[in-house]
Structure 1
Amino acid sequence: MKPRFETLSNLITAMLDLTKCIVEVKELPSDYITPDTPEMAAVTAHIPTAVYWIIRSIVACAGQILGLIGMGHEYIISTTETWELSSLAHKINSIYNHLLQQLKLCHQLIEEKRQIESYQALVRLMETIHIDNMKVLNRLLIHTKDDQLPLVECPTKRKVSIDVLRRKSVLLLVSDLDVSNEELFLLEQMYRESRQLSSRTESQYEVVWLPIVDRSTPWTEAKEHKFEALQYMMPWFSVHHPSAIDPAVIRYAKEKWDFRKKPILVVLDPQGRVVNQNALHMMWIWGSVAFPFSVAREEALWKEETWRIDLLADSVDPVIPTWIMEQKHICLYGGEDLEWVRKFTALMGAVARAAGIALEMLYVGKSNPKEKARRIISTISVEKLSHTLPDPTLIWFFWVRLESMWHSKMKFGTKVQQDPIMQEIVTMLSFDGSDQGWAVISRGPHMAKAKDETILKCLTEYTTWEPNVPEKSFVVAMNDYLNENRTPYHCNRLILPGEAGRIPEKVVCAECGRRMEEFIMYRCCTD
């Protein structure tokens, strides 16, 4: 008897599941899906058939149940009747599974429409003028109404409400989980520095991390650990978990703020208006002095700037401002050819002594300091050839600031040929794109620069331009010599981090399978 009871029970369960599915279809919100929608039409077309088989199954079940009630234990279900019940259960389950698939398509369509509606509402909200930033922050940081403490104070893990951000400038650090340690370290330094004097205007801002992850891949324990490790390193606020970010906000970040993979720093003013879609570049260039980090402030800062050693390097090493104040000649140089470094530093030192000038030399390496650069730094220190930056992060920072200058200038449509600062930025970046050594010598507003054999030849032939030094100054005389003896041949490469464009968004390394960084190379070579 037990198997036959199970057959009857299975059929009843199947009927109930199918009935619930039909009810769910009828309760689909008409605001998002109408009867003439293909997905809805497909699912409703199967309902009459489903109802027919449910009724037929009810009749079959009723007959069996009545028989059991009337005859009691003496009633024996025949094999034919058992087979009929099993057949009906199979039919009902088949209809249910098909209807369920169609229903999933309907729910998917409804969710897509809700997401579109949510995104459009967010766009309208961001375009509306507000008296403070609460509405905007509520929408960006709170996914569900129940989540009234959406932020985490990273160092303490304490949950807080968005009221801590009220009427403040808010910098949204939008990134995935692949934020570099260098970026975090330097952002943290700038943030802590701005907090040292809370009365300073530059300290009147807060940073909130918005971790945006690829939701098409499963969230793993490794990702959770990585997320928590990054949170632990941050001294500011964070959304408590990547899953708490509304998909509409993720879409907005990608479509309106052009977030791809590299971190961006979106600035909201105290009224919640986006005043800069990415202030990271100006943060690297000017630090907290760039407050309130708006595009208008960025443009104003550039109008005040001239190309000088202060702009190029004074925030990279605290000793540089001291050298500037002492009116010393400052030489920055780089490259990864140790023999060239030895030859250049020896020649530069000898010429400085001959000219009677106070000179300080600083090795700034290459933009992506590898083991070779570290060995050169070690050799320079051991042999006391010149000063070096104490941390590879500072070498990275020197070059990333130059890249940031490029991107910041490009934001305003600056053309290289029309902007002296841009021309100097391109020259410096082309030095980094080469494997050759290079040097920049500066004092006051004047700079001289050259690569490899050109600068060595200039120093070797110092006696040729030495007579001009007393009248013109050392740097100007050197620059004149370099300009007068410029060779027609050159080969310059300018390599910049890739921006969103017509290149593939994702390319993996053939060796290790990791995502490759995107770069754009400009090249000019003459024979």
Structure 2
Amino acid sequence: MAANSENAQEAGKGELSVLTMSDDQIMKKIHATDDDHADETFDADPLFIVAQNILKRATHIVDNMVQGSQPHEENLDEKAPSFSPPLCTLKQLSFEMACKTPGEQTAEKTTMAILNKLKSYSWHAKAALTLAAFSIEYGDFWLLAQLLSSNQLASSVGILKRVPAILKPPSLIRKYSKEIVELNNLIKATMEVINSIFELEKLSIDYTQNVLASTAMGHLPVDVYWAIITIVACTTQMCCLTSDEDTKQGLSPFAGKIKLTLGSLKEQINLIHQQTKEVEAYRMLKKTILRATNIMKVLRALIFAKDNVQQLFDGSTQQLVSIDVLKKKNVLLFFSGLDISTVEISILNPINDGIRNDYQYKIVWIPIVEQWTDDLQKKFALLRSQMVWYTVQYFAPAGGIRFIQKKWKFENKPILVVMNPHGKVEHLNALHMIWVWGMRALPFTKAAEERLVKEPNWIGDIMVGIYPNLQESMNDKDKHIFFYGGKDKDWIQQFEKKAAALENDPVIKKAMVSIQLFCIGKDDHESLGRFWNKIESLFFSKIDKDIKQDTEMQEIQKLLSFKNERGWVIVSNLSKVEVICHGEIILKFLEVFENWKGEVQKIGFKGCFKEYDDKIPEGERPCCRVDVPFTPRYIPKHMKCPHCARVMETRVNFKCCHIDEAI
């Protein structure tokens, strides 16, 4: 009660209690007590080992005395290193802590005095020195207590140390048993904290590049502060107990802080060890994959790690099969999270159908999940039921995930890594070319993609892939197909009205220009998503192959810049792009139809539009903004405007459309 009342009085003086200070406030407070050029030559390890040895035996003696049983010390493994202790420093610290009045404020002032005395030492050494100074007094007291009845010298020295104040009469040790046990337990906990501080210090040296270790070391001064102030409080409580005074040092607030500190340190150390294991697993996996000469070695190392059961789920038979079904095969490794959409799954269905009778190719889905839960397993089972190819069950080896993320650039978006029977990667992500060319992309290698991206007439591959019925129209040399779309329904209606007038105009018909209007995604949202996915995939395929700013690349960038606009139009003839235009410009062009329709027969629709477009001042054109999904491996450092060739401004944009299908 007396201790509590004193703490309350101190708190009432208007001074901020150290027990309620934030870590930042404590860090600021103790910063001045640390020398930036601390003596790193002082080896605190042997000092800490000896202090631990003393306190382990002393606390063991106390436990046995309070419980009334005989001590059993044979299980205490003690190491006694040979070194020269800094005795004068230890005595100064003992003197600094001795005979202080109980209270939080006194403990805080004493702690700051100790930190100033130890200014030239590293933080873990400060903790070890303070603990060692305390261990001398605490160990000496309980050693004398043990020898009191059998050694006359110990009896005499014990009198001066007030040992009999607790042990005689026996009723006193029972009277203070609660306080003694509390003190003893707090000493043990503080030793654990300092031991964790030493372990963290060692980890920071062994793993200098570990970010977690660096972060934890930044917080170390606060951890050391709580260890030292707790040792000061324990010293004061020991003095109160030997004096048999009513006033005691309250230890519970310090015990709470030590518990939190210890929990935090252990959590950080565990995370560092876990991260270190992952780094080592990644290193070994990388070494294995680089040296592998067949695909089975790669897959076993990448997917199954140490698991003995190496099975896949066959979606076509709904049965588990051995991984040996992939031996000597070209394997398409499909990596994704569990947020994959049905559209993204469906893109592989025609590929699976196309390779079904070709036993040299197999598809395997590998779900990337950091931590499996019951709900995620249910979601996995639902997704797996939509796939007719092979699936890896609950893939989770940390080394494999790290490798896939770091070397194969998996960042939540699905990728399709193509690996040949020798375990060599033929393509890091064949999904883009599959989106665009489907089975034409076989054998899904970089060489195949390089050939495909150089082909002209990309609009035919895009449109026929979504709307197979358009094949005949796109092969008609007299037919101009107006593909159009946009975010604004009013714009679409305006365009359709003006384009219909153009289609039925006698001059256009006389010029034998056949016009077909085709709205992308008007009644089919999924088709619109597939259209933009294909356009983006074609963009990434060209970027990946370092295709320069050729005509096709300009057309694709221009179209991507219209993705979020009110409206846009592509005019195609014989699968060739004649015009790609912003919705506002094409409407104005159609409004002045009478001015140019006479030229259609001479220079064609494309020539008429070019003459009109060339006369538009650059300042009157809408701003050009190209939005593409963030994929670090594919995003260029800079991009030229497809309209004026100026270098475009780079911005970061985050987006969610609240649906699974991409748009």
Could you tell me the TM-score, scaled by structure 1's length?
0.69
**Aligned residue number for residue 626 of structure 2:** 494
Deviation of 1:311 after TM superposition, in Å, equals: 3.4
**Aligned residue number for residue 213 of structure 1:** 369
Higher strand share: 1
C-alpha distance in 1, partners of 2:547/2:501? 40
Deviation of 1:55 after TM superposition, in Å, equals: 7.7
C-alpha distance in 2, partners of 1:392/1:323? 23
**Structure 1 pair 120–485 and aligned structure 2 pair: CA distance change class (3 A):** same
Deviation of 1:39 after TM superposition, in Å, equals: 11
Residue 280 of structure 1 pairs with residue 431 of structure 2: yes
Residue 407 of structure 1 pairs with residue 540 of structure 2: yes
Question: Helix, strand or coil for the counterpart of 2:628?
Answer: strand
Aligned residue type for 1:315: G
Aligned residue type for 1:146: N
Residue 190 of structure 1 pairs with residue 346 of structure 2: no
Give the one of 152, 159, 169 matched to 2:330: 169
**Aligned residue number for residue 358 of structure 1:** 514
C-alpha distance in 2, partners of 1:455/1:41? 83
**Aligned residue number for residue 444 of structure 2:** 293
Aligned partners of 2:486 and 2:564 also within 8 Å? no
Aligned partners of 1:209 and 1:237 also within 8 Å? yes
C-alpha distance in 1, partners of 2:514/2:45? 80
Deviation of 1:181 after TM superposition, in Å, equals: 2.6
Give the one of 283, 289, 296 matched to 1:120: 283
Aligned residue type for 1:226: K
C-alpha distance in 2, partners of 1:61/1:226? 59
Unaligned 5+ runs, structure 1:
1-36, 66-77, 366-376, 379-390, 520-527
**Aligned residue number for residue 115 of structure 2:** none
Give the one of 572, 593, 617 matched to 1:442: 572
1:133-282 to structure 2, matched below 5 A, reads 133-149=295-311, 151-154=312-315, 156-187=317-348, 189-195=349-355, 198-199=357-358, 204-215=360-371, 219-241=372-394, 244-282=395-433
Identity %: 28
**Structure 1 pair 431–39 and aligned structure 2 pair: CA distance change class (3 A):** farther
Aligned residue type for 2:534: R
Indicate the larger mover: 43-52 or 350-359: 43-52
**Structure 1 pair 53–402 and aligned structure 2 pair: CA distance change class (3 A):** same
Question: Helix, strand or coil for the counterpart of 2:571?
Answer: strand
Could you tell me the TM-score, scaled by structure 2's length?
0.56
Deviations 1:31-65 (A, max 9, x none): xxxxxx99999899746644665588689887599
Question: Helix, strand or coil for the counterpart of 2:541?
Answer: helix
Question: Helix, strand or coil for the counterpart of 1:323?
Answer: helix
Aligned partners of 1:446 and 1:475 also within 8 Å? no
**Structure 1 pair 106–408 and aligned structure 2 pair: CA distance change class (3 A):** same
Deviation of 1:226 after TM superposition, in Å, equals: 1.8
Aligned partners of 2:342 and 2:661 also within 8 Å? no
Deviation of 1:183 after TM superposition, in Å, equals: 1.4
C-alpha distance in 2, partners of 1:64/1:279? 71
Question: Helix, strand or coil for the counterpart of 2:562?
Answer: helix
**Structure 1 pair 44–245 and aligned structure 2 pair: CA distance change class (3 A):** farther
Question: Helix, strand or coil for the counterpart of 1:493?
Answer: coil
**Aligned residue number for residue 421 of structure 1:** 552
C-alpha distance in 1, partners of 2:383/2:55? 55
**Structure 1 pair 352–165 and aligned structure 2 pair: CA distance change class (3 A):** same
C-alpha distance in 1, partners of 2:345/2:404? 20
Deviation of 1:220 after TM superposition, in Å, equals: 3.8
Deviations 1:41-96 (A, max 9, x none): 9899746644665588689887599xxxxxxxxxxxx9999999997799579748
Question: Helix, strand or coil for the counterpart of 2:537?
Answer: helix
**Aligned residue number for residue 31 of structure 1:** none
Question: Helix, strand or coil for the counterpart of 1:470?
Answer: helix
Indicate the larger mover: 418-427 or 103-112: 103-112
**Aligned residue number for residue 325 of structure 1:** 475
Deviations 1:243-297 (A, max 9, x none): x421011111221122222122222122111222222211111112212222232
**Aligned residue number for residue 21 of structure 1:** none
Aligned residue type for 1:198: N
Aligned partners of 1:314 and 1:320 also within 8 Å? yes
Question: Helix, strand or coil for the counterpart of 1:351?
Answer: helix
Deviations 1:296-324 (A, max 9, x none): 32122212x11443134221111121212
C-alpha distance in 2, partners of 1:323/1:433? 28
Aligned partners of 2:334 and 2:363 also within 8 Å? yes
**Structure 1 pair 507–307 and aligned structure 2 pair: CA distance change class (3 A):** closer
Aligned partners of 1:458 and 1:478 also within 8 Å? no
Aligned partners of 1:46 and 1:99 also within 8 Å? no
C-alpha distance in 1, partners of 2:171/2:543? 82
C-alpha distance in 2, partners of 1:298/1:425? 17
C-alpha distance in 2, partners of 1:40/1:442? 82
1:89-104 to structure 2, matched below 5 A, reads 91=184, 95=188, 102=196
Question: Helix, strand or coil for the counterpart of 1:170?
Answer: strand
**Structure 1 pair 221–463 and aligned structure 2 pair: CA distance change class (3 A):** same
Deviations 1:188-219 (A, max 9, x none): x3334324x614xxx7422222222244xxx4
**Aligned residue number for residue 7 of structure 1:** none
Residue 466 of structure 1 pairs with residue 591 of structure 2: no
Aligned residue type for 2:535: L
Unaligned 5+ runs, structure 2:
1-42, 73-169, 200-265, 638-649
C-alpha distance in 2, partners of 1:38/1:312? 70
**Aligned residue number for residue 34 of structure 1:** none
Aligned partners of 2:282 and 2:402 also within 8 Å? yes
Indicate the larger mover: 480-489 or 285-294: 480-489
Question: Helix, strand or coil for the counterpart of 2:578?
Answer: strand
**Structure 1 pair 62–411 and aligned structure 2 pair: CA distance change class (3 A):** same
Aligned partners of 2:430 and 2:444 also within 8 Å? yes
**Aligned residue number for residue 335 of structure 1:** 486
Question: Helix, strand or coil for the counterpart of 1:496?
Answer: coil
**Structure 1 pair 493–96 and aligned structure 2 pair: CA distance change class (3 A):** closer
Give the one of 334, 342, 345 matched to 2:496: 345
**Structure 1 pair 225–94 and aligned structure 2 pair: CA distance change class (3 A):** farther
CA RMSD of aligned residues (A): 4.2
C-alpha distance in 2, partners of 1:518/1:153? 28
C-alpha distance in 1, partners of 2:316/2:571? 43
Residue 315 of structure 1 pairs with residue 448 of structure 2: no
Indicate the larger mover: 272-281 or 444-453: 444-453
Aligned residue type for 1:393: E
C-alpha distance in 1, partners of 2:297/2:590? 63
